[in-house]
Structure 1
Amino acid sequence: MSSETMLLLPDLARQIAKVATLEGEFVLRSGQVSERYFDKYSFEGLPHILRPLARAMSELLPPETEIIAGLELGGVPLVTAMSLETGLPAAFVRKEPKSYGTCRAIEGQNLTGRKVVFVEDVISTGGAVADALRLATQEGADVRAVVCAIWRGDGAPAIHAAPELPVYPVFTRADLEVQLGDQESQ
């Protein structure tokens, strides 16, 4: 990551933590229950956060990346912003193939034989990524990695059902919680 981006990360983490952190009891996609939730739509809809976040995420892309593929729904605004940032074509991965029109699960690009990186918002265990990997592999994609805004899982970032797939987060849950702690002490 560039030194300019590295300098901006603490401020970006503070902004995301401020607008996206919800306290309460939340059931995550994985089935886990959490008292803290990062509402991705709160920061993905704000251009002053989305633009630098897309830049930081773009800097994590492996150099061989040919297509970036955003997972429905939170990965779509991120991949669109990253496509504008990098000039790479974007694809959009549905949770399942649609039953009309093209009847495809992945829209926007032909992934066959292409080096693809998934783009996701918040990952805890990677269940949605594992589902998308299955769909992309069926379409002949060579999925190289996952870039995400926030890794909220335990331990090192990894997709439980696909541990060989590298996960590159801009922030971890701890990065945002540090910012929340800083805000609470001010």
Structure 2
Amino acid sequence: MKNESVLEEIVIDLYRNKLFKIGEYRLTSGKISPYYIDLRILPSYYDIYSRIIDISISKLKPLKFDIVVGIESAGIIHASFIACRTRKPVGYVRKKPKQHGTRRLVEGIVTGKKVLVVDDVATTGGSLEHAVNAVRSEGGTVEKAFVFIDRQEGARERLRRLGVELVSLMNTWFIINVLVKHRIIDEQTYYMIKNYLDRETHG
């Protein structure tokens, strides 16, 4: 219960600092969403970020991994913090192979290692799948991927087909339930996002 209470406080802070925004936003996938999660500037809010990292470390404690690998670009800084706190090596996966020098797609030694893939937000899971495949092509083993927020738009199922479990601190359902519980958003906004999620979850 303590962790859930902390997460509720974090959700409220994310909203008040405009890291969770209500509106009309076009996603990378091209879809129009009634909300947007902007965690790229999250590390600028040290109080919120430190609490998120603390609770992330607690959630990741039971997992076994040798190296933390972030996804370019947002996932790199989060992977770095998690690696530092768990005293593990860190690496990252590029969106595209480096065009000069080593032409690497994966930076960091993952061969023969159990890898935790890290990003900020999971939507459809395309970036996570790319990272998993890249790490596996270098001889790394991936069984878990971690994100702060799961938007619940197919990433969990997509990774499951790859034999990877998606671990998240929270999802959109949790966020909107907290916001309506504390009367930060009204019921009309709640149902607008709920209807969007129902369409994305059930097609």
State the TM-score bracket (shorter-chain normalisation).
0.7 to 0.9
How far apart, in 2, do the equivalents of 1:87 and 1:32 lie? 39
Q: Which residue is 1:75 aligned to?
A: 75
Does the 8 Å contact 1:72/1:93 carry over to 2?
Answer: yes
1:159: Cα distance to partner?
A: 4.4
Give a deviation string over 1:55-111, Cα, whole Å, max 9, x none: 22223335321111111111112111112221111111111111123311122x210
TM-score, normalised via structure 1 length: 0.87
One-letter amino acid of the structure 1 residue matched with residue 86 of structure 2: T
Does the 8 Å contact 1:146/1:165 carry over to 2?
Answer: yes
Does the 8 Å contact 1:147/1:167 carry over to 2?
Answer: yes
Q: 1:46 to 1:102 in 2, by over 3 A?
A: farther
1:4: Cα distance to partner?
A: 5.2
Q: 1:159 to 1:70 in 2, by over 3 A?
A: farther
How far apart, in 2, do the equivalents of 1:93 and 1:177 lie? 31
Aligned length: 181
Q: Which residue is 2:135 aligned to?
A: 136
Q: Which residue is 1:29 aligned to?
A: 28
Does the 8 Å contact 1:57/1:148 carry over to 2?
Answer: no
1:37: Cα distance to partner?
A: 0.4
Q: Which residue is 2:65 aligned to?
A: 65
Does the 8 Å contact 2:159/2:166 carry over to 1?
Answer: no
Q: Which residue is 2:189 aligned to?
A: none
Does the 8 Å contact 2:159/2:165 carry over to 1?
Answer: no
Q: 1:147 to 1:161 in 2, by over 3 A?
A: closer
- Of 60-69 and 92-101, the range deviating more from structure 2: 60-69
Q: 1:90 to 1:159 in 2, by over 3 A?
A: farther
Q: Is the partner of 2:59 in helix, strand or coil?
A: coil
One-letter amino acid of the structure 2 residue matched with residue 73 of structure 1: S
Runs of 4+ displaced beyond 4 Å: none
Give a deviation string over 1:126-149, Cα, whole Å, max 9, x none: 010011112111111101211100
1:160: Cα distance to partner?
A: 1.7
How far apart, in 2, do the equivalents of 1:104 and 1:82 lie? 23
Which structure's relative contact order is higher, taking Cα pairs within 8 Å and 6+ residues apart?
1
1:42: Cα distance to partner?
A: 3.2
Stretches of structure 2 that go unaligned for 5 or more consecutive residues are 187-203
TM-score, normalised via structure 2 length: 0.80
1:47: Cα distance to partner?
A: 1.3
Does the 8 Å contact 2:68/2:115 carry over to 1?
Answer: yes
Does the 8 Å contact 1:18/1:180 carry over to 2?
Answer: no
1:14: Cα distance to partner?
A: 1.6
Question: Identity, % of aligned pairs?
Answer: 25
Q: CA RMSD in A?
A: 2.0
One-letter amino acid of the structure 1 residue matched with residue 31 of structure 2: Q
Q: Which residue is 2:191 aligned to?
A: none
Instruction: Flag the structure with larger Rg.
Output: 2
1:184: Cα distance to partner?
A: 3.5
Q: Which residue is 1:38 aligned to?
A: 37
One-letter amino acid of the structure 2 residue matched with residue 92 of structure 1: Y
1:31: Cα distance to partner?
A: 3.0
Stretches of structure 1 that go unaligned for 5 or more consecutive residues are none
Q: Does 1:124 align with 2:116?
A: no
Q: Which residue is 1:98 aligned to?
A: 98
